[in-house]
Structure 1
């Protein structure tokens, strides 16, 4: 799974090849297919693993939006493939099977956040939007922006832009 995680994080569903994944671990293409099914099935297992990591992180964190945000930021730094895998999952949503699977996991994550924090729908929506900006900023290696809550809020239109970006 680690080889698939790395390959799909880098190249996505359409760009990654089973051959490249097999080569990373020194086994044959048919063995990968035997173990995991189709390339799409393997991709979805990698995507589900990323969501599982996020949910496990949130479940083991103080149940506040702030604490969950800090835990997510730490997860993105400690597991650098999580952010790219999520973005690749969104990019592959043109495939109806991928779209349905990612939609289901995204809605489940939203419900987990609500259950853990008791936040209202607007707070959860803002939290998820800020998390997406954090994910993109981390993947693009924008360190001066990754932890900037005011900038994230401005991006999603919730506050005025910070003075240094006007």
Structure 2
């Protein structure tokens, strides 16, 4: 094989490599500013090959957003089933994989696009339901958990001091919640 020739790898491995490259690009530039040629270059393949595998920039973006939500869900599934432990697992994920929080924020930012809005809304609501299922939290507690998580996501993205984004602060906020009698999350949560 000549120097500089692309390395052949299984399609699943190539797809995963493209998703990582796309995660970096979309975390930095969002859906509107993300460039498929930059993703292809970072992944070491051609731009047409990216299009062939994913169909469009928006479809690739949505897969990257799904991947970020999948990573959050997996972190929650591995954690002790309490809101504080899930918050801690989320913060560890954000610190370890910076693109996860940035991609999630880019998904919210691109919600003016109806397809993106529907996909992100679905994943957001599914994650809320998972948190309720895992922890037994009621609707108010889950909404408070998400509000706290959004502050942590922004604090981490902006690299604010640890004091503003630590788990102890989150636990304090969650303890302030006056639990409501509802036990299940609806789509209106």
User: Is this a same-fold pair by TM over 0.5?
Assistant: yes
Distance 1:131 1:10 in 2: 20
Equivalent residue for 2:165?
146
Aligned with residue 73 of structure 2, among 41, 49, 55? 55
Gaps of 5+ in 2: 1-18, 178-189
Alignment length (residue pairs)? 156
Residue 11 of structure 1 deviates from its aligned partner by: 0.4
TM-score, structure 1 normalization: 0.89
Distance 1:146 1:54 in 2: 17
Equivalent residue for 1:161?
none
Distance 1:117 1:145 in 2: 24
Aligned 1:1-166 pairs, distance under 5 A: 1-143=19-161, 144-147=163-166, 149=169, 153=173
Q: Runs of 4+ in structure 1 displaced over 4 angstroms?
A: none
Residue 25 of structure 1 deviates from its aligned partner by: 1.6
TM-score, structure 2 normalization: 0.79
Gaps of 5+ in 1: 159-166
SS at match of 1:81: helix
Over aligned residues, Cα RMSD in angstroms?
A: 1.9
Distance 2:53 2:164 in 1: 40
